Amino acid sequence: MRVSADALRRNYARIRAAVGPSTGLIPMVKANAYGLGVRETVRVLSAERPWGWGVATVDEGVALRALSVQQPVIVFSPVPPDSCEAAVAAGLHLTVSSLDTLDRLVAVGRRVGTVPSVHLDVDTGMGRAGFDWRKAALWMPRFLDAAKGSINWVGCYTHLHSAEDDEGSVREQWASFQEVLDRIPDPPPGLLIHLLNSAGSLRLPELARGAVRPGMFMYGGRVGDAQPVPEPVASLHARVVHLRDAEPGTSLGYGVTYQARGAERWATLGIGYADGLPWALGNRGSALLRGVRVPIIGRISMDMTVVDISGVSGVRVGDVATLLGTEGGESISVDEVAELAGTISYEVLTGLTARLPRVWTGLDGA
């Protein structure tokens, strides 16, 4: 797997250009920076001076601290009760989605002698976490009381559910979010308001407010059909480990879902679903070999994948095939792979396993 630091920088710069210089950026680096490698991603983007970083778990936040990250690190998923103390000790910013969590953090802060830094999570339609915006009159007084000294209230945010496809939904969620903001009688100075993801930042940058939270667009995945196309950041490669001439009717793979239709030449690639190549690409996906698009045939195995190279001359054991990326005049995008596999680009990238080495290019400029 190759990862381009230069492409990552350029995609980040496009988000920056969309929202303007006064808006903070909080790159989402959860799930090992969407599968690309968090250590290198942080190294590259630290030079861009982001406001902070976004993760999903306390362990991910602690790992950033181990990389000497000093900026705010926000944990965007609800924190399990037994992780609160470690999170507060690491100086992570925690999102508060319920009064139970609020009470727990206040108690932990008093016990360890630290005032926890928190971001108020308001649910305006995503539904998975956050305080219900329609019931602000019930929960807001308790939160405001804690904000008088028991917590360090840093930010207030919501999650967009359909920014990739529906501008109207973004405006509707913003209106609901604004109703909650209007209920805050005396917000703390510098309270950071943030709601836009990559798609929202490109579609409605006028709603950027204090910060935005770019994710998939930075890593090379599209964020809506009508949105700008990002520069590919990651490419996936595998070597040819075996060649064979298959006679007509020769069976292939588990379940024998493919048989040679005539005299064919097959190449076995040293990659499989244990590396993160989607199993669903069997008999559907493609690879690029010597600049030619060749079909994946049979089921993808845990460690091997076979392509039909009939008509492609000169292929040798050791040649490198491309399963994601560009070779010659052909390209296979992460979005194409996702569509063929019946999933989304997020799952394709985050599914690339640790068995694949991440080879970064362009890091010298970081």
Distance CA 333, CA 231 (A): 10
Helices H, strands E: what count in the chain? Answer: 11, 20
| Alpha-carbon span 60 to 37, nearest angstrom | 12
d(CA 108, CA 133) in angstroms, rounded, equals: 26
Active site includes 254? yes
Measured from the Cβ of residue 67, the count of other Cβ atoms closer than 10 Å reads 12
SS3 annotation, 59-119:
HHHHHHHHCCCCCCEEECCCCCHHHHHHHHHCCCEEEECCHHHHHHHHHHHHHHCCCCEEE
Distance between CA atoms of residues 69 and 46, nearest Å: 9
Taking residue 344's Cβ as centre, other Cβ atoms within 10 Å add up to 16
Which of 30, 219, 258, 273 is catalytic? The answer is: 30
Q: Tell me if residue 30 is catalytic.
A: yes
Whether the CB-CB separation of 341 and 285 falls below 8 Å is answered with yes
Catalytic annotation, pick one of 12, 34, 219, 254 = 254
Q: Parallel, antiparallel, or unpaired: how do β-strands 320-327 and 234-246 relate? A: antiparallel
Catalytic positions are: 30, 254
